[in-house]
């Protein structure tokens, strides 16, 4: 495959019917009203020269290269800023236009280095291309006049350089930062000839608000903003379209390669989730895949105190199979199990759960979604009938009010956050419910109408009060409810009770009643109101209740079943949705059919040739408990670091230590592998062949750009273990696994690699009824028939602040790091987040004698750790916050065994803690926490 270059139409597409007829160079074309002449020309197959225009940005009209001649119009208007008009006749090539364009280019080139042959952008430079297009042959002004050729290069960013000497001041970078990313970190400083791009207040890129999303680099038409990997490795020569391996947004990228080496990852314009945008992780942080820490050979040891011994695949697989069978023979069929990974493909996950169900012969399979979005699965299935978000990402562009609860999209889901911010800049109203004043509350050109800084653990009281206002103030969409829902009257009586009023819950939530009422009215009165939520909803003792509470609220106000509305989980990892879809939960087979359902089980039993268990298996926390009580003896851990990511580290460590056999399959040795007896090296996303399913149910292809560095695909290894255990399980390729998924899983019935290669991506359900997929669910009716209202009683968490532990710790993530950090800590992203820090309010710091940068002890009733303090009034008094990206900090040493009542999802968001000064930053012997280095 050669290098893919998507067509650039110069200006964005306009919505609406193609009803305006224009003639361009004698070619007729129909385009929607508002379309630029430049875009209409491009759609007619006529390329107009351009420099400041690109179709991801609104037209700007600064370069004057795109001038055209229009019948009946004076002068030569810029085609990018001139909208079409009915009957317009345009000429793009005349002697006069050619002369004008050459003149423009002559001026540009007179102040540009003539180093094309040694320039990193040679061959990928629009300035170079345009010089050729306009036929520039000489620069009459010479090169000795005043110029910018000695402007310095800013290399402060770990991933790209800013070479100001090559800048043509087209403002594309500035506009990309504003319009695409929404950060507004760049500007044009100065006037006239002195105009130049400046980051922030004129300092370096690293010192500015730049979030390194790469939009400016992508927009730059020259080598001014250039990936350092291109400078070092040269221009790529082939592209492979694949899917990012980080968050649940699931961005499509072109992996641009030289041979087997990735030169850069460029966001793909036709990617349904991201439409050409990216964040710092997906765009730049792929170096972990070739990091020297990667293990490429299987390893075995008898005891976890023994050194690892590298072995061949055959020995490793045989060892795993033999030990698993021995343990089952001694302790019973249910004494072993496995954990699937949301970082792995659907096909890999399907293979692991099949191995557990068919080869292990039990349902002891669970997934890391247990510790993040299992309440989403429970809550949305109870109310709507399916375990998935209702909308596609594009839907946010039609929302009038956006309610963000327990999510921090600018850090956790940055590419979706950019979409959301674009809509907010267009005028949509924003309500944020979060204890912290997250960036979205107030950022350039965005200000939340309401920031409901509720106390951690009081989500259900808050959402009930929202619904109370809706019900008692006549804001129910009666027509929707009567036609589409059931159990409303019971719920209406329940929610109208006085204990749910904003006034009654104000002391619980800490949110003033007036503000909550105003927010509820805003949400309920909007033509389109959408809820977006994250782990701040699910990782609570009432996570499932809260999901049902939000589902109730959306139904009561009729905000389901069309664009611009819905209940939308922002999934943490890239394939959380897919790992759940593929039957990773111990009670559900692929497609969410319950294991006790004979009809569902029969489908799989017939195909797999094994009788399957009809009882649910162990969830991850149950596996830990059962390991300690001795009834569970062996665990296959696929691509997860449960010893770092799961709560109450001491308990997890005790459980892992109690197991007779721990098998870890991963890229790197990690915290969990310290307890492992077998290490099976895994493949990075650059080697995988399969699919990921993102938070909008979009199934995207993950295409290998190189062969597995380990010699085997992960699904192959799983199959070989199953075979060695006596169960015939074989596929020739990953496409065959998806074909089996399509046979067994009704919502995937129309999915195949062939279709995905043909149409790009599909959103499930994808079947005969919806062969191209389903962007928005529940449009004509809920999956379960009628939407079901469920009473959501607020039950306070048992985790309370006490005299000994007076603060509440809540945990989260940061933009530059991902999950346990195994990937991002091995990239240049450590430039931004070298350690986990504890954020606390100035008051809480003051009374403890803590200053910014001091090392503090963080203790809960289950453990203690230490980390550096960051004093920040974004925190409310009484609440502290940290991340869990670095194992050296071990934030989960302090989190507890509390969990969601319905799903056992851990209550990461509420832990009673105390914070004490351990070592002042100014002390001469102050310890300096360092980024964790996994051995």
In 3D space, the residue among 678, 660, 661 whose CA is nearest the CA of residue 669 turns out to be 678
Q: How far is the CB of 458 from another protein (least distance, A)?
A: 16
Report if residue 503 touches another protein, rule: CB under 8 A: no
Q: What are the Cα distances from residue 620, in Å, to 338, 481, 623, 803, 851?
A: 9, 38, 5, 32, 39
Continuous H helices in 665-733: 714-724
d(CA 752, CA 420): 31
Q: How far is the CB of 897 from another protein (least distance, A)?
A: 6
Q: How far is the CB of 330 from another protein (least distance, A)?
A: 13
Q: How far is the CB of 617 from another protein (least distance, A)?
A: 6
d(CA 513, CA 498): 13
Task: Please choose, out of 124-132, 212-220, 480-488, 612-620, the segment that lies near another protein by the rule CB under 8 A.
Answer: 612-620
In 3D space, the residue among 809, 808, 823, 807 whose CA is nearest the CA of residue 885 turns out to be 823
Continuous H helices in 686-837: 714-724, 734-744, 753-759
d(CA 570, CA 534): 5
One character per residue 337-376, x = contact with another protein (rule: CB under 8 A): ---------------------------x------------
Task: Please choose, out of 291-299, 529-537, 623-631, 920-928, the segment that lies near another protein by the rule CB under 8 A.
Answer: 623-631
Q: What is the Cβ-side half-sphere exposure of residue 286, based on CA atoms within 13 angstroms?
A: 26
What is the SS3 assignment for 98? helix
Report if residue 902 touches another protein, rule: CB under 8 A: yes
The residue (of 588 and 640) whose beta carbon lies closer to another protein is 588
Q: Which two tokens stand for residue 259?
A: 């041979």
Q: How far is the CB of 891 from another protein (least distance, A)?
A: 18
Q: How far is the CB of 904 from another protein (least distance, A)?
A: 7
- Of these, 33, 293, 791, 852, which contacts another protein (CB under 8 A)? 791
In 3D space, the residue among 337, 339, 345 whose CA is nearest the CA of residue 645 turns out to be 339
The residue (of 545 and 579) whose beta carbon lies closer to another protein is 545
d(CA 114, CA 489): 76
Q: How far is the CB of 911 from another protein (least distance, A)?
A: 13
- Of these, 379, 586, 647, 690, which contacts another protein (CB under 8 A)? 586
Report if residue 260 touches another protein, rule: CB under 8 A: no
Q: Which two tokens stand for residue 57?
A: 């940005």
Q: Which two tokens stand for residue 328?
A: 């089952």
Q: How far is the CB of 793 from another protein (least distance, A)?
A: 5
Q: In sequence order, what DSSP letters do the residues of 433-463 get, joined into one string? A: E-SS--GGGEETTEE-SEEE-PPTT-HHHHH
In 3D space, the residue among 230, 252, 215 whose CA is nearest the CA of residue 685 turns out to be 252
Report if residue 421 touches another protein, rule: CB under 8 A: no
Report if residue 214 touches another protein, rule: CB under 8 A: no
The residue (of 187 and 896) whose beta carbon lies closer to another protein is 896
d(CA 132, CA 443): 42
Q: How far is the CB of 499 from another protein (least distance, A)?
A: 11
Report if residue 618 touches another protein, rule: CB under 8 A: yes
Binders of another protein among residues 462 to 501 (CB under 8 A) are 494
d(CA 103, CA 458): 66
Report if residue 901 touches another protein, rule: CB under 8 A: yes
d(CA 593, CA 582): 11
- Of these, 628, 735, 770, 857, which contacts another protein (CB under 8 A)? 628
- Of these, 625, 739, 835, 852, which contacts another protein (CB under 8 A)? 625
- Of these, 541, 552, 745, 811, which contacts another protein (CB under 8 A)? 541
Binders of another protein among residues 726 to 755 (CB under 8 A) are none
The residue (of 374 and 716) whose beta carbon lies closer to another protein is 374
Phi, psi (degrees; rounded to nearest 5) at 547: -60, -40
Report if residue 616 touches another protein, rule: CB under 8 A: yes
Q: What is the CA radius of gyration of the chain?
A: 29
Q: Which two tokens stand for residue 425?
A: 């800049």
Q: How far is the CB of 522 from another protein (least distance, A)?
A: 29
The residue (of 396 and 902) whose beta carbon lies closer to another protein is 902
Report if residue 798 touches another protein, rule: CB under 8 A: yes
The residue (of 90 and 790) whose beta carbon lies closer to another protein is 790
Please check whether residue 886 is in contact with residue 932, taking contact to mean a CB–CB distance below 8 angstroms: yes
Q: How far is the CB of 386 from another protein (least distance, A)?
A: 16
Task: Please choose, out of 128-136, 225-233, 305-313, 897-905, the segment that lies near another protein by the rule CB under 8 A.
Answer: 897-905
The residue (of 394 and 587) whose beta carbon lies closer to another protein is 587
Q: How far is the CB of 859 from another protein (least distance, A)?
A: 16
d(CA 588, CA 574): 21
Binders of another protein among residues 54 to 73 (CB under 8 A) are none
- Of these, 71, 115, 514, 629, which contacts another protein (CB under 8 A)? 629
DSSP β-ladder status, 690-693 and 678-681: unpaired
DSSP β-ladder status, 678-681 and 299-300: antiparallel
Task: Please choose, out of 8-16, 305-313, 478-486, 540-548, the segment that lies near another protein by the rule CB under 8 A.
Answer: 540-548
Report if residue 6 touches another protein, rule: CB under 8 A: no
Task: Please choose, out of 509-517, 551-559, 661-669, 790-798, the segment that lies near another protein by the rule CB under 8 A.
Answer: 790-798
**# chain residues binding another protein, by CB under 8 A:** 38
Q: How far is the CB of 675 from another protein (least distance, A)?
A: 17
Report if residue 647 touches another protein, rule: CB under 8 A: no
The residue (of 264 and 381) whose beta carbon lies closer to another protein is 381
E-assigned strand segments in 733-871? 761-763, 787-788, 807-812, 837-840, 855-859, 864-871
Task: Please choose, out of 1-9, 10-18, 550-558, 619-627, the segment that lies near another protein by the rule CB under 8 A.
Answer: 619-627
Q: What are the Cα distances from residue 427, in Å, to 125, 445, 447, 674?
A: 36, 10, 10, 52
d(CA 608, CA 718): 15
- Of these, 27, 196, 297, 587, which contacts another protein (CB under 8 A)? 587
- Of these, 82, 242, 882, 899, which contacts another protein (CB under 8 A)? 899
Report if residue 862 touches another protein, rule: CB under 8 A: yes
d(CA 78, CA 104): 13
- CA angle, 918 as apex, 915 and 919 as ends, to 5°? 135
- Of these, 98, 194, 333, 933, which contacts another protein (CB under 8 A)? 333
Length of the chain as a residue count: 935
Report if residue 332 touches another protein, rule: CB under 8 A: yes
Q: How far is the CB of 354 from another protein (least distance, A)?
A: 19
Report if residue 596 touches another protein, rule: CB under 8 A: yes
The residue (of 792 and 883) whose beta carbon lies closer to another protein is 792
Please check whether residue 811 is in contact with residue 881, taking contact to mean a CB–CB distance below 8 angstroms: yes
E-assigned strand segments in 105-179? 153-154, 160-163
Binders of another protein among residues 542 to 561 (CB under 8 A) are 542, 545
Report if residue 611 touches another protein, rule: CB under 8 A: no
d(CA 326, CA 493): 57
Q: What are the Cα distances from residue 69, in Å, to 5, 23, 77, 780, 880?
A: 29, 12, 7, 50, 63
- Of these, 114, 194, 707, 793, which contacts another protein (CB under 8 A)? 793
d(CA 25, CA 173): 31
Q: How large is the angle between the packed helices 459-472 and 513-525, nearest 10 degrees?
A: 60
What is the SS3 assignment for 432? strand
Residues in contact with another protein by CB under 8 A are: 332-334, 364, 494, 541-542, 545, 586-587, 594, 596, 615-619, 621-622, 624-626, 628-629, 631, 648, 651, 791, 793, 795, 798, 862, 897, 899, 901-904
């Amino acid at each position: 495959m050669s290098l893919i270059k998507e067509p650039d139409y110069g200006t964005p597409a306009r919505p609406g019917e193609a009803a305006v007829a224009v003639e361009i160079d004698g070619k007729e074309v129909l385009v929607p009203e508002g379309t630029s002449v430049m875009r209409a020309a491009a759609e007619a197959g006529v390329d107009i020269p351009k420099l400041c225009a690109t179709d991801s940005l609104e037209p700007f009209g600064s370069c004057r290269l795109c001038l055209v001649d229009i019948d009946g119009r004076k002068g030569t208007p810029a085609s990018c800023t001139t909208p079409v008009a009915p009957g317009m006749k345009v000429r793009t090539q005349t002697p006069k236009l050619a002369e004008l364009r050459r003149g423009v280019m002559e001026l540009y080139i007179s102040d540009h280095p003539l180093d094309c042959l040694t320039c990193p952008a040679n061959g990928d430079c629009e300035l170079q291309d345009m010089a050729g297009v306009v036929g520039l042959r000489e620069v009459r002004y010479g090169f000795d006049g005043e110029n910018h050729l000695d402007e310095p290069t800013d290399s402060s960013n770990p991933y790209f350089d800013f070479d100001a000497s090559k800048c043509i001041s087209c403002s594309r970078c500035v506009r990309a930062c504003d319009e695409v990313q929404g950060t507004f970190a760049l500007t044009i400083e100065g006037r006239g000839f002195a105009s130049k791009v400046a980051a922030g207040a004129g300092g370096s890129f690293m010192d500015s608000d730049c979030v390194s999303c790469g939009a400016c680099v992508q927009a730059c038409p020259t080598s001014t903003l250039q990936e350092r990997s291109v400078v070092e490795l040269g221009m790529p020569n082939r592209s492979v379209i694949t899917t990012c391996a980080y968050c649940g947004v699931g961005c499509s990228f072109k992996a641009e390669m030289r041979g087997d080496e990735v030169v850069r990852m460029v966001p793909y314009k036709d990617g349904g989730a991201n439409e050409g945008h990216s964040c710092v992780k997906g765009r730049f942080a792929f170096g972990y895949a070739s990091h020297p820490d990667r293990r490429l050979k299987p390893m075995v040891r008898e005891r976890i105190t023994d050194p690892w011994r590298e072995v061949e695949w055959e020995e490793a697989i045989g060892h795993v199979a033999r030990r698993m069978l021995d343990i089952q023979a001694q302790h019973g069929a249910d004494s072993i199990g496995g954990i699937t990974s949301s970082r792995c493909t659907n096909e890999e996950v399907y293979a692991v759960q099949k191995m557990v169900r068919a080869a292990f012969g039990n349902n002891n399979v669970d997934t890391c979604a247990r510790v993040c979005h299992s309440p989403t699965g429970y809550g949305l299935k109870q109310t709507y009938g399916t375990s998935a978000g209702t909308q596609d990402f594009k839907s946010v562009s039609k929302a009038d009010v956006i309610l963000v609860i327990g999510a921090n999209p600018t850090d956790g889901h940055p590419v979706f956050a950019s979409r959301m911010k674009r809509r907010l800049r267009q005028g949509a109203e924003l309500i944020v419910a979060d204890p912290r004043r997250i960036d979205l509350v107030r950022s350039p050109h965005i200000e939340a109408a309401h920031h409901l800084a509720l106390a951690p653990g009081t989500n259900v009281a808050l959402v009930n009060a929202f619904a109370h206002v809706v019900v008692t103030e006549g804001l129910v969409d009666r027509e929707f409810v009567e036609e589409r829902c059931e159990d409303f009257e019971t719920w209406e009586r329940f929610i109208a009770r006085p204990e749910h009023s904003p006034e009654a819950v104000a002391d619980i939530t800490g949110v003033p009643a007036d503000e909550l009422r105003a927010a509820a009215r805003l949400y309920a009165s909007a033509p389109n109101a959408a809820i977006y939520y994250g782990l701040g909803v699910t990782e609570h003792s009432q996570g499932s209740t809260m999901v049902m509470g939000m589902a109730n609220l959306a139904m009561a106000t009729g905000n389901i079943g069309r664009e611009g509305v819905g209940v939308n989980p922002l999934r943490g990892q890239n394939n959380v949705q897919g790992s759940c879809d593929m039957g990773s939960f111990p009670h559900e087979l692929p497609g969410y059919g319950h294991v006790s359902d004979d009809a569902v089980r029969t489908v799989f039993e017939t195909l797999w040739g094994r009788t399957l268990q009809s009882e649910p298996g162990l969830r991850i926390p149950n596996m830990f408990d059962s390991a300690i009580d001795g009834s569970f003896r062996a665990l296959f851990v696929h691509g997860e670091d449960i010893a770092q990511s799961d709560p109450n580290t001491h308990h997890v460590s005790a459980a892992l230590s109690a197991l007779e056999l721990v098998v870890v399959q991963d890229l790197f040795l990690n915290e969990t592998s310290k307890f492992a007896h077998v290490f099976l090296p895994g493949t990075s996303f650059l080697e995988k062949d399969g699919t990921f399913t993102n938070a909008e149910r979009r199934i995207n292809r993950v295409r290998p750009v190189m062969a597995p560095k380990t010699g085997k695909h992960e699904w192959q290894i799983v199959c070989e273990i199953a075979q060695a255990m006596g169960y015939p399980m074989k596929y020739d390729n990953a496409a065959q696994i998806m074909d089996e998924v399509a046979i067994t899983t009704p919502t995937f019935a129309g999915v195949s690699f062939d279709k995905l290669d043909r149409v790009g991506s599909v959103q499930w359900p994808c079947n005969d009824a919806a062969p191209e997929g389903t962007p928005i669910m529940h449009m004509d009716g809920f999956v379960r028939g009628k939407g079901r209202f469920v009473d959501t009683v607020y039950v306070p968490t048992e985790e309370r602040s006490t005299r000994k532990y007076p603060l509440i710790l809540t945990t989260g993530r940061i933009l530059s790091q991902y999950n346990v950090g195994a990937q991002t800590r091995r990239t240049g992203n450590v430039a931004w987040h070298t350690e986990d820090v504890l954020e606390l309010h100035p008051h809480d710091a003051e009374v403890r004698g803590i200053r910014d940068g001091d090392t503090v002890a963080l203790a809960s009733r289950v453990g203690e750790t230490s980390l550096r303090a960051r004093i920040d009034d974004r925190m409310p008094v009484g609440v502290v916050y940290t991340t869990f990206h670095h194992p050296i900090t071990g934030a989960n040493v302090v989190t507890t065994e509390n969990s969601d009542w319905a799903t056992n999802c851990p209550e990461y968001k509420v832990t009673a803690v105390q914070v004490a000064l351990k070592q002042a930053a100014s002390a001469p012997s102050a310890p300096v926490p360092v980024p964790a280095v996994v051995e």
